[in-house]
Amino acid sequence: MATLLISGYGGSGPDHWQTWFESQLPDSIRVSHLDSTTLDLPAWAATVRGEIDRASAPVWIVAHGFGCLAAVQAASDFSERVGGAMLVAPFDPDNVRATALLPETPLEFPSLIVSSANNPYMRSDRAAFWAAFWNSAFVSVGAAGGIDPESGFGPWPQGLEILDQLKAASTAHVFAGSGQRVGRTALAV
């Protein structure tokens, strides 16, 4: 399965952990054509939907910041094509009045939210709320700011370990030839 890397507001430059992930994951696809200088959730989600739709097989999603909101909105429309989603330092949808645009039910694929105790864009308790709301695992990495280069996150081996744990925990989340879900494993990351 390919891994879609969805950046956050401002993009993921050469020093960002997502750029490092791209070099570590040979099957990764950077979601491009995002206007990373605007917070237009419907437009971002449409771009992500297009990438999921173009993929020849189910995908993994690794999103950061505002890209997490676009990933969740798009992936909920294609849940049968998503193996799992790792949502890192998500942006609080209340900051952009986007709550009404997000899924109102648990996500239908394995997922986890990686949170920071001092993320400037979403408090940890709010990230925990969304994790519970979407039935996602919750991983706190302590006081890690926005989990971005400004917070010291270029190469991020712990992030790859978290992704590997998500993939391992998702082995029962198998796709049948008909495109139907065969099972789902709870995550204990």
pLDDT tens digits, residue range 61-74? 999 999 999 999 99
Residue 169 tokens read as: 């925990």
- 110 lies in a domain? yes
In eight-state DSSP terms, residue 86 is: E
Q: Which residue has the higher pLDDT, 178 or 173?
A: 173
Q: Mark out the alpha helices in the chain (DSSP H runs).
A: 17-24, 41-54, 66-77, 124-133, 157-169
pLDDT tens digits, residue range 17-64? 999 999 999 999 999 878 888 899 999 999 999 999 999 999 999 999
> How confident is the prediction for the chain on average, in pLDDT?
89
Contact present, 121 and 146 (Cβ < 8 Å): yes
Number of domains within the chain: 1
pTM: 0.89
Residue 133: CATH number of its domain: 3.40.50.1820
Reduce the DSSP state of residue 2 to 3 states and report it: strand
Structural domain boundaries enclosing 39:
2-169
- 26 lies in a domain? yes
